[in-house]
Chain A
Amino acid sequence: MQFMLLFSRQGKLRLQKWYVPLSDKEKKKITRELVQTVLARKPKMCSFLEWRDLKIVYKRYASLYFCCAIEDQDNELITLEIIHRYVELLDKYFGSVCELDIIFNFEKAYFILDEFLLGGEAQETSKKNVLKAIEQADLLQEVRPAPLKP
């Protein structure tokens, strides 16, 4: 996967994750172009489209669009389920997630994504294991860790 974007129906970017090195200017250009393209599509249309030399896989959940760019040989359907699994993770963590959760806790959304996908590839697909890792981290937030062993 080359990047993942979350944006609202109004076109506001809520989360961006880039797995390839690009300049800020390019990122903004890509984002603008893709948000426009995806928002212009009708609901019943297929979830995949060719864009430049990449494949775009997107899905809308309530007011949010989840949009991934994958390479030619990557699998569209499994990418669609990557999106779904991420939504499930957010949902489980926040308890029936909504756009506001992601706005106010954007850092958490990033942490969960990093546990699930790393470098654009699935790192851990088990829902239980990802949430366990996040929970552990949350526990560490509360307590000052014991001094480290040498």
Chain B
Amino acid sequence: MPAVSKGDGMRGLAVFISDIRNCKSKEAEIKRINKELANIRSKFKGDKALDGYSKKKYVCKLLFIFLLGHDIDFGHMEAVNLLSSNKYTEKQIGYLFISVLVNSNSELIRLINNAIKNDLSSRNPTFMCLALHCIANVGSREMAEAFASEIPRILVAGDTMDSVKQSAALCLLRLYKTSPDLVLMGEWTSRVVHLLNDQHMGVVTAAISLITCLSQKNPDEFKTCVSLAVSRLSRIVSSASTDLQDYTYYFVPAPWLSCKLLRLLQCYPPPEDGAVKGRLVECLETILNKAQEPPKSKKVQHSNAKNAILFEAISLIIHYDSEPNLLVRACNQLGQFLQHRETNLRYLALESMCTLASSEFSHEAVKTHIETVINALKTERDVSVRQRAADLLYAMCDRSNAKQIVAEMLSYLETADYSIREEMVLKVAILAEKYAVDYSWYVDTILNLIRIAGDYVSEEVWYRVIQIVINRDDVQGYAAKTVFEALQAPACHENMVKVGGYILGEFGNLIAGDPRSSPLVQFNLLHSKFHLCSVPTRALLLSAYIKFINLFPETKATIQEVLRCDSQIRNSDVELQQRAVEYLKLSSIASTDVLATVLEEMPPFPERESSILAKLKKKKGPGAVSVTELEDGKRESGELNGSGERGQDAAAMAASNASTPSPSADLLGIRSAAPVNAAPASAGSLLVDVFSEVGPAAPSGAVNDDGFLRFVCKNNGVLFENQLLQIGIKSEYRQNLGRMYLFYGNKTSVQFASFSTTVSCPGELQNQLNVQSKPVEPLVEGGAQIQQVLNIECLTDFSDAPLLNIKFRYGGALQNLTLKLPVTINKFFQPTEMASQDFFQRWKQLSQPQQEAQKIFKANHSMDTEVIKAKLLGLGMALLDNVDPNPENYVCAGVVQTKSQQVGCLLRLEPNAQAQVPVPAAGLPSL
């Protein structure tokens, strides 16, 4: 080792650093620094040309000052000058300064790039490495532009020194991360992949980071790396601990490289080649076996390196999710770690088990550790470990252990750290809802949540409990009784008052028979909280009061008295004042009947994705496994259900019901959740439902057909929408030809890469329908929309729909989506006008069984003549007036145009409004 004298060669620097360290105060330090800055500035500006040594020394001082946290606004030029020095030590300091203090001053960048270019072509490996380090450290776009094409050449050239190859590989990686568009591997791909075979372990270690990153972005081009990685891994895993000499770390052969190889393999599915797969499984088994062997050293470095490989292997096993044997072994291994004395291992075992819990093969095995995990939640001293334990409990929860887990999480919540309470509350609320068998348990759990951690119970959580109570009449009485009891507590959380107010306002009558909870007692209880509450809660309570007047006429006088007092009717808050005035008036002038209608019980809410799940997802980001795994098939897009329109209906209704059209009228208009059946028939899906013989419960694999049915009777609209992407459709049809415009809108601010779409006609459909599409641009910028045109030709009659598959990369992750394209046979209808006589003559001719179809169905919505007419026209047939003797009936005629033949169709719809069970008959003769 060279004897390093402090600051060798730069005495001035050492003196300066000592001075700074001796400063007694911050002020003294700043004073000393300013003195030095002035000195350096004058030297740089002075007439006398500085020699290289002085320049190096001053640049180094500036660097030191910068690293102390002070701004440096000069010296860049001097540092750039050092780059072209012949003296290595000066060049090195110059590069260090540039690496730490880049300035995107274009003049300077050009000079820096010039110096780098010179060093790269110097053939002196030490200089080349310095230049490559600088590019890797700065990694700016300008550098990528200048060097992205040069570096791959250096990387694969036969005469490049190993150390330069290593730097080149990682330098390229950095440039690829900042400017992927400028780094084109193309012809170099295969030679770069073959670096995995390099004799020099250091070269492999550096190259594999590059290959992993490139594989994530272009898996197909790099897929040959899989077999190379497996054989390299196999050689390392089976080597004796001394074989790899200096690449053995505390008796573990090449731990860094092993981890990176296992990580690279996680970019791909399990190898298809049986031999390769066999070899890999062998490696994974060996790694698991080694974990059971006695340690070769007591040093923590030995066990860390060994376990690093083990955890990476387990990640790969989980990634494959196809080897039950390995998954269970992994789970058992992690189970051992759960009780390890090393906190780090316990932490990682909890984390890793979280992902294992979502695999069907290991879910049960994970569940066996529940007691240990609960114990961890109670006894771990480190909050980050407790957090992992809570995550794991959430992930391993299912119907069999939900009550136990929820109870444990609730009791943990009482002492939980503030930083994680909100998330814990959401998780408890979700588990309670998801696994509720009896809803009284659910209500108890949520009320407990509010009691224990009221401040952390977000709106979504208490909205949700109300939605559920309203939708399930078996729990309403219990809920009323429970909130009534909860409100008895001398100090209750405001959220409890909200829930209590709402529920008693709706269902207080269910417990009013008991004299201990008579209407007046209920009212007095609620009103005793009134003055402690915020304005929105008070507004909610006022609405509860008016509901009380309707439910219990005997409370009318008392409540009117309250509404009439100055603090209500002259309240300075407009919302409260308006409610007080209007409710008072309403209760005085409206008849009992009117009051009963206006203040009717709330109708059920439509079933949809739990709003709290959405909230948790938002908190955790879309990648959170534990959340997405648990969400099951509940996923559905709110927009697609037309909830947008219905939400407005609900708002309108809330307004008419509570006579307060203010946006903060929250009692009845619980924002996103809206009552459905009492809403005026929206233009949503009327006959669409009618013609859907499939029904909603027919999940067709991964195909998303949520939007499909809505397009049976219309040609334009939004087919699909999620957080990333919106797909709109415009289509037009003539004879047997159609043209469809698809609009793909990027809803994010990030570019979609490798965007591609394919339209396919599965099975018989390929002989029935001809769909041609033009390819789309592979890049969709953030916020941009691109268009694609499809030309459609109907060859003969068909019943399936073509599939549209969309793939793209968003933030590195591949998105894959398949939708049913709304091309249905009725799109090729040509409306036909005919007279009554004609119609019935033809109708009678179509008498054979296969020429006729009849269906009786219950209308899901109220039958509005105009809406039905619009639907039938949307279907594409002509609506014939004055044909049917019964004017209530609807009669249509049309011809389906296909290339091979034309098929006439007649239709009759006979609504039966009186019976409340409409019985229309649709004759749909064919041929």
Q: Do A and B bind each other?
A: yes
User: Within A99-120, which residues are at the interface with B (CB < 8 Å)?
Assistant: 101, 103-108, 110-111, 114, 118-120
Identify which of B9, B93, B167, B249 contacts A123 (C-beta below 8 A): B167
Q: How far is the CA of A49 from the CA of B385 in the complex (A)?
A: 9
A45 touches B384 (CB 8 A): yes
B202 within 8 A of A: yes
Cβ distance A7 to chain B, nearest Cβ, rounded Å: 12
B860 within 8 A of A: no
For A21, list chain B residues within 8 Å (CB): 139-140, 178
For B137, list chain A residues within 8 Å (CB): 114, 119
A121 touches B166 (CB 8 A): no
Identify which of B6, B100, B245 contacts A104 (C-beta below 8 A): B6
User: Interface stretch among B83-91, B408-416, B504-512?
Assistant: B83-91
A107 touches B63 (CB 8 A): yes
Q: How far is the CA of A135 from the CA of B1 in the complex (A)?
A: 8
A141 touches B201 (CB 8 A): no
A141 touches B4 (CB 8 A): no
Identify which of B63, B123, B205, B387 contacts A149 (C-beta below 8 A): B123
B167 touches A118 (CB 8 A): yes
B202 touches A124 (CB 8 A): yes
- Interface size of A by CB at 8 A reads 65
A95 touches B166 (CB 8 A): no
B69 touches A13 (CB 8 A): yes
Q: A110-B96, A111-B92, A124-B163 are in contact. Are A105 and B7 (CB under 8 A)?
A: yes
For A73, list chain B residues within 8 Å (CB): 263, 266, 315
B113 within 8 A of A: no
A107 touches B60 (CB 8 A): yes
User: Within B199-251, which residues are at the interface with A (CB < 8 Å)?
Assistant: 201-202, 205-206, 209, 245-247, 249
B205 touches A123 (CB 8 A): yes
Q: A45-B382, A122-B205, A123-B167 are in contact. Are A129 and B7 (CB under 8 A)?
A: no
For A145, list chain B residues within 8 Å (CB): 86-88, 124
Identify which of B8, B100, B136, B344 contacts A77 (C-beta below 8 A): B344
Q: How far is the CA of A111 from the CA of B134 in the complex (A)?
A: 11
For B301, list chain A residues within 8 Å (CB): 81, 84
Identify which of A28, A77, A105, A125 contacts B205 (C-beta below 8 A): A125
For A141, list chain B residues within 8 Å (CB): 8-9, 88-89
A119 touches B136 (CB 8 A): yes
Cβ distance B513 to chain A, nearest Cβ, rounded Å: 52
For B343, list chain A residues within 8 Å (CB): 44-47
A75 within 8 A of B: yes
Residue ID in chain B nearest A130 by CB atoms: B202
A75 touches B308 (CB 8 A): yes
User: Interface stretch among B168-176, B558-566, B582-590, B819-827?
Assistant: B168-176
A126 touches B201 (CB 8 A): yes
A78 touches B255 (CB 8 A): yes
Q: How far is the CA of A44 from the CA of B266 in the complex (A)?
A: 33
Residue ID in chain A nearest B13 by CB atoms: A104
A45 touches B312 (CB 8 A): no
B621 within 8 A of A: yes
Q: How far is the CA of A50 from the CA of B384 in the complex (A)?
A: 8
Q: How far is the CA of A124 from the CA of B304 in the complex (A)?
A: 19
Identify which of B69, B89, B171, B246 contacts A129 (C-beta below 8 A): B246
For A49, list chain B residues within 8 Å (CB): 384
Q: How far is the CA of A93 from the CA of B3 in the complex (A)?
A: 9
Q: How far is the CA of A45 from the CA of B301 in the complex (A)?
A: 18
B843 within 8 A of A: no
A118 touches B133 (CB 8 A): yes
A48 within 8 A of B: yes
Q: How far is the CA of A53 from the CA of B6 in the complex (A)?
A: 40
Cβ distance A115 to chain B, nearest Cβ, rounded Å: 8
Q: How far is the CA of A111 from the CA of B1 in the complex (A)?
A: 16
A140 touches B21 (CB 8 A): no
A46 touches B256 (CB 8 A): no
A36 within 8 A of B: no
Residue ID in chain A nearest B623 by CB atoms: A72
Cβ distance B355 to chain A, nearest Cβ, rounded Å: 11
Cβ distance B486 to chain A, nearest Cβ, rounded Å: 35
Q: How far is the CA of A124 from the CA of B623 in the complex (A)?
A: 32
For B304, list chain A residues within 8 Å (CB): 77-78, 80-81, 84
For B594, list chain A residues within 8 Å (CB): none
Q: How far is the CA of A149 from the CA of B127 in the complex (A)?
A: 13
B791 within 8 A of A: no
Q: Mark B110-140, 1 if CB is under 8 A from A, else 0.
A: 0000000000001110100100110011011
Q: How far is the CA of A71 from the CA of B263 in the complex (A)?
A: 13
A125 touches B6 (CB 8 A): no
Q: Mark B64-92, 1 if CB is under 8 A from A, else 0.
A: 10010101000000000000001111001
B17 touches A140 (CB 8 A): no
Known interface pairs A48-B344, A103-B21, A124-B205; 5 further A-B residue pairs with C-beta atoms within 8 A, sorted by A's residue number: A44-B382, A93-B1, A106-B67, A120-B174, A125-B254
Contacts from B to A (Cβ < 8 Å): 1-2, 4, 6-9, 14, 17, 21, 60, 63-64, 67, 69, 71, 86-89, 92-93, 96, 99-100, 122-124, 126, 129, 132-133, 136-137, 139-140, 163, 166-167, 170-171, 173-174, 177-178, 201-202, 205-206, 209, 245-247, 249, 254-257, 259-260, 263, 266, 301, 304-305, 307-308, 311-312, 315, 343-344, 346-348, 381-382, 384-385, 387, 621, 623
What are 15 A-B contacts with C-beta separation under 8 Å? A13-B69, A46-B347, A46-B384, A47-B344, A48-B347, A75-B311, A84-B304, A119-B170, A122-B206, A122-B209, A123-B167, A124-B163, A127-B246, A144-B86, A148-B124
Contacts from A to B (Cβ < 8 Å): 13, 15-16, 19, 21, 24, 28, 42, 44-50, 53, 72-73, 75-78, 80-82, 84-85, 92-95, 101, 103-108, 110-111, 114, 118-129, 131, 133, 135-138, 140-141, 144-145, 148-149
Q: Which 10 A-B pairs have the closest CB atoms?
A: A77-B308, A119-B174, A140-B88, A121-B209, A78-B308, A118-B170, A46-B343, A126-B246, A141-B89, A45-B382
